[in-house]
Structure 1
């Protein structure tokens, strides 16, 4: 007598769906798509056994207010988490930090209302803007993270800012190697963020 054989294969868990929502630093300005931050981060996480898909919702030149305007169609339903990387262009344009903070706060509030957790990637203002501006700008990311209970990565360009070997000729956008450094540095924070996400069936 033959024993019954299970015919139903186990359904593998679906990948986590993340959105990198940002400006040119997420979009991968001057780089092929495979070398942009979302793709390199996805590859690094998959090498660690994390089943994840990271959508690139970066728009070059975008400010925090611009991000707010396109938020709803840039972050689709079913998104498990967002890496929010905006603010660099606000500083480059000298936009009042209060305006930037209000827009970032609104983005986080709307995502939380949709039950989409947020990892906040911070930015530092260029030092040539003066101590008053830089102090106000730099402080808003920790303040937002504390107010909303977010995982914070303090400085997205940590390890590459100002390094000619890791940036393109404009000294603003990373080279492929610069992106790899960003990913290497932010990876532990992303893993900590993923550990806070609700379990998916």
Structure 2
């Protein structure tokens, strides 16, 4: 955990500036990233931030693209729409979700948001309320939901860190949705797995991100297919 703390401390200072510029750069291409899939297939929507939006990576090398490849390899007939924007917060995801649900009518919504809230000092109550609304709205649209959890840097203090992650744990239990405990599990304490900004994982790290998500996502696919 000491190595994790040192690495996170070095990354936090660079994050806010990087997120601000990346959100402006990526927002204009958000609709292209959400290209509507074939109507015959149920759709998995990934509602995320830069960790899912291929920030700083060559095109089609992020974990969401690898998810498409995994589905094809395992002959699971799903389309994947990546509705992720770098720098996005839970407020941003909440605001654009209704249009995403209306246009794509997903069978599954993967919610990968919240890290930017913590790093920008958004109150926990606001983050929780936004995530709750995202989950409830997705369920009301007959979509299964997968929450992807995050931990904050240890320099925020153990009390805040536990409370922040507890938001995901509580919503998972309350709304009966599965939880990926930590998207960056297995790489958070490995500097070589991050780009030069020490915030965003490299292309080499993307398969590990998928492996963190897949065990919780796969059981939802059969459930969605049977609806």
Could you tell me the TM-score, scaled by structure 1's length?
0.87
Number of aligned residue pairs: give it: 188
Asked whether 1:69 is paired with 2:65, we answer no
Aligned to 1:107: 134
Aligned to 1:119: 146
SS of alignment partner, residue 40 of structure 1: helix
Runs of 4+ that moved beyond 6 A = none
Query: Any conservation in 2 of the 1:64–1:90 contact (CA below 8 Å)?
Result: yes
Higher relative contact order (CA 8 A, sep 6+): 2
Query: Any conservation in 1 of the 2:180–2:212 contact (CA below 8 Å)?
Result: no
Deviates more, 1:140-149 or 1:44-53: 44-53
In 2, the alpha carbon distance for the partners of 1:110 and 1:56 equals 18
Aligned to 2:57: 31
SS of alignment partner, residue 33 of structure 1: coil
Aligned to 2:112: 85
After superposition, residues 137-176 of structure 1 pair within 5 angstroms as 137-176=164-203
Unaligned stretches of 5+ residues in structure 1: 1-12
Could you tell me the TM-score, scaled by structure 2's length?
0.78
CA RMSD in angstroms, aligned pairs only: 1.6
In 1, the alpha carbon distance for the partners of 2:123 and 2:135 equals 19
Render the CA deviation track for 1:114-143: whole Å, top value 9, x for unaligned.
111111111111111112211210101010
Find the structure with the greater CA-based Rg.
1
In 2, the alpha carbon distance for the partners of 1:17 and 1:124 equals 28
Deviates more, 1:13-22 or 1:65-74: 13-22
